[in-house]
Chains A and B, each alone.
Chain A
Amino acid sequence: MMFDVSIITDRVEPILHGLLVTFQTWFAGVLIGLVLGLGIAVLQLFGGRWLRIPLRMFIEVIRATPFLVLLFLLYYGGPEFGLSLEPITAGILGMGVYGSVYFAEIFRGGFQSVPKGHVEAAECLGMGRWQCIWRVQLPQMLVIILPALVNMITILCKETAVLSIITIPELTMVLTGIGSETFAFVETLLVLCIGYLILIELSSRLGLWLERRVGRFLVRS
Chain B
Amino acid sequence: MNDVTTPILTLRNVGKRFGTNQVLKGVDLDVQRSEVVCLIGPSGSGKSTLLRSMAFLEEYDEGEIHINGQLLGWQSISPRRRASRSRLNQVRSSLGMVFQQFNLWPHMSALGNVCEALVRVKGLTRSDAERKGRAMLDKVGLAEKADAFPAQLSGGQQQRVAIARALAMEPSLMLFDEPTSALDPELVGEVLQVMKQLAADGMTMVVVTHEMGFAAQVADTVAFLDGGHIVAKGAPRDIFHDTEHPRLQQFLQNYLDRNAFWQDLKETPA
Contacts and interface: CB of A to CB of B under 8 A. Distances in A.
Nearest to A132: B120
B106 A217 contact: yes
B152 A219 contact: yes
B103 A120 contact: yes
A2 to B, nearest CB: 57
B241 interface: no
B165 A125 contact: yes
A89 B108 CA distance: 40
Given A128-B85, A217-B107, A117 B92 contact: no
B92 A120 contact: no
Interface residues of A, number: 26
Contacts of B97: 120-121, 124
Contacts of B151: 217-221
A136 interface: yes
A121 B100 CA distance: 11
B152 A121 contact: no
B121 interface: yes
A217 B117 contact: no
Could you say which of B57, B96, B120 has the most chain A C-beta atoms within 10 Å of its C-beta? Answer: B120
Contacts of A122: 105, 117
Contact of B120 (A123, A135, A139, A216): A135
Interface string A154-176: 00000000000000000000000
Could you say which of A131, A135, A214 has the most chain B C-beta atoms within 10 Å of its C-beta? Answer: A135
B101 A117 contact: yes
B99 A121 contact: yes
B70 interface: no
A115 B151 CA distance: 15
Nearest to B118: A125
A111 B50 CA distance: 27
Contacts of B93: 126
Given A124-B92, A124-B97, A118 B120 contact: no
A219 B109 CA distance: 12
Interface of A: 115, 117-118, 120-129, 131, 135-136, 139-140, 143, 214, 216-221
26 contacts: A115-B103, A118-B105, A120-B57, A122-B105, A123-B57, A123-B89, A124-B55, A124-B95, A124-B96, A124-B97, A125-B116, A125-B121, A125-B166, A126-B92, A127-B120, A127-B121, A131-B121, A135-B116, A135-B120, A136-B105, A143-B107, A216-B149, A217-B107, A217-B149, A217-B150, A219-B149
